[in-house]
Amino acid sequence: MSRRRRSTLRCASVLLGAAAPLGVAQMLFPGDGSDEPGFVPPVVGQPPPPPPARMSSGEAYIPYPPPPVVPQARSEKKNPPNPPVMFTKLRSEHGMLDWATRPDDLNNLLRDMKASMDIHLASEVKSLDEIDPDPERNPILFRSGHFRIRHTPAQRARLRQYLLAGGMIIYDAAAGSKPFYDSAIAELREIFPEAPVQRLGPDHPIFHAYHDLDRVDYRSGVRAAGYRDSTPWLDAVTINCRVVAVVSRWGLGIGWDGNTDDTLRAYTVDSARKLGVNLMAYATAQRAWARQFAHLLQLVDREPSGAGKISIAQVVYDGEWKTRHKGLSVLLQQFHQNTGVPVKFAVRELRLSDATLFDSPLLYMTGHEDFQLSPAEVQGLREYLRRGGFLFAEACCGRLAFDRAVRRELRRVLPEHALQPVATGETLLTLPNRIETVGLTPALAQRLNRSRAEPRLESITIEGHLAVVYSPWGLAGGWELSPNPYALALDESSSLAVGINVLMAALTQ
């Protein structure tokens, strides 16, 4: 560690009242990442002002000096009730230097929201062990820092329970300190081994929940660090179409705190505050949605009882390949009820390079973000489709990044073929359900300025064989009867009708 960096840490430790002052050769704690590439020393902010003294609502008289013979009632208005807590700042056992170098960041963000939007919210400070698993008691967790973080197994389990119940956590790499960023990513992989941590595309609802922020302003410090793009950089874990955890690569809290030092690796004050508002708006809407559909019944897998069944293999790829966990089972059940065709409720999951790929009559593929197939996966899908296989793909929430990736990867797989629109009246839209118009989710209806529209499916036919069907509007949320509020998708009944028709087309090939 350089002499200048050690001096900065030592001074910051004193200013923030850390547990022990940092000596010349002393780290904050073993393995804190302060000697790693990309570490940025803490940038110390001013401590928050003390809260105003409040007298309890039960006081009726001025206690000092003694009242006159006739007591005088107080004429000032009572203090209003405390606003609800929205953000909970997570403290660590290593002192404020580890978790609160900008002590007033959340308070400033909330004051700005109160002044500009007339929204009255509060923040609090807790340790991770004090977090209530009920998100209603601490809706959004915020953990900022420069040093590496490491949760205990018990804390990871507690966080997982909280996040799956509808909560959200934001990890903020203060001043873009890379050891904090890397360790936050690693922690999320431990907490959710089944879900990838991936960067959100600029069309993600988080960037449009209140302000449109597909482009943001960065300080020159970010450019000096080698980042040239103007898109916001948030990595996230998404479970059932809801972002549960966010990691900001560049500093958010510094902007919330109002620091204007242009050399810092952070968003500008204006962009940081707008991102903060968007995160709050998104988390609030998603928490309400998660609570509404938290108790959906799980379908029980059923074993096949003979030949002539239809089953589905879901495509696994590097990225967010599993967006909804019950949708396919619901679709298969509805297909059986509507057609009488026996189905297998268990869904296989495999890669396109798997040797057993050709045992599956139907492949299903979905996602939200960009992805890229490996050469072996491209070759496997090409052979599968040319041999008579069937691929059913859908952009789960109608996201542009997935749509672009599907089109790009299909051009790699079948360069001699192109997706073609499916016209109303074709068999795919008439058997067994005649589909002339489809219902839309509120988000898609608002974008198209109408509540219903003609169905939008595209397909690829190889030598008379229907090989690919793709829906750029989401379907899986409708199959689960719970489309995400931000989804550009079909409503429940139309999603099921389209899905049943696609299964019938696959079965009759």
The answer to whether residue 52 is domain-embedded is: no
Res 326: pLDDT:
86
The answer to whether residue 112 is domain-embedded is: yes
Mean pLDDT of 247-263: 96
For the chain, how many helices (H) and strands (E)?
Answer: 14, 16
Same structural domain, 464 and 329: yes
Residue 48: CB atoms within 10 Å: 15
DSSP 406-435: HHHHHHHH-TT---EEPPTTSGGGTSSS--
Q: What is the pLDDT of residues 402-419, one digit of tens each?
A: 999 999 999 999 999 999
Same structural domain, 124 and 159: yes
Res 45: pLDDT:
58
Res 269: pLDDT:
97
Give the structural domain span for 430: 313-507
Q: Among 292, 324, 346, which residue terminates a domain?
A: 292
Higher pLDDT, 386 or 22: 386
Higher pLDDT, 74 or 379: 379
Same structural domain, 464 and 432: yes
Res 307: pLDDT:
43
Q: How far is CA 37 from CA 321, 399, 439, in A?
A: 32, 35, 52
pLDDT value at 9 more than 50: no
Res 344: pLDDT:
73
The overall average pLDDT reported for the chain is 87
The answer to whether residue 176 is domain-embedded is: yes
Q: What is the pLDDT of residues 118-158, one digit of tens each?
A: 999 999 999 999 999 999 999 999 999 999 999 999 999 99
Q: Which one-letter amino acid corresponds to residue 309?
A: K
Mean pLDDT of 331-339: 91
Res 315: pLDDT:
98
Instruction: Please tell me the distance from the alpha carbon of residue 333 to that of residue 329, in angstroms, as a whole number.
Output: 6
Q: How far is CA 231 from CA 215, 217, 267, in A?
A: 5, 9, 11
Instruction: Please tell me the distance from the alpha carbon of residue 107 to that of residue 256, in angstroms, as a whole number.
Output: 8
Q: Among 224, 258, 292, which residue terminates a domain?
A: 292
Res 292: pLDDT:
74
10 Å CB burial of residue 169 (0-12, 13-18, 19+) is buried
Q: What is the pLDDT of residues 443-455, one digit of tens each?
A: 999 999 999 999 9
CATH of the domain at 484: 3.40.50.12140
In terms of Cα–Cα distance, which of 24, 269, 19 is closest to 9?
24
> In this structure, what token pair is assigned to residue 339?
């057609």
Res 283: pLDDT:
96
Same structural domain, 251 and 393: no
pLDDT-derived band at 261, boundaries 50, 70, 90: very high
Same structural domain, 364 and 472: yes
Q: How far is CA 102 from the centre of its chain?
A: 25
In terms of Cα–Cα distance, which of 252, 129, 123 is closest to 181?
252
User: What's this model's pTM, rounded to 2 decimal places?
Assistant: 0.86
Res 75: pLDDT:
52
Same structural domain, 163 and 100: yes
Of 72-76, 143-147, 308-312, 488-492, which range is least confident? 72-76
Q: How many domains does the chain have?
A: 2
**Percent of the chain clearing pLDDT 70 (strictly above):** 84
The answer to whether residue 54 is domain-embedded is: no
Mean pLDDT of 209-235: 97
Of 170-184, 325-339, 431-445, which range is least confident? 325-339
The answer to whether residue 220 is domain-embedded is: yes
The answer to whether residue 348 is domain-embedded is: yes
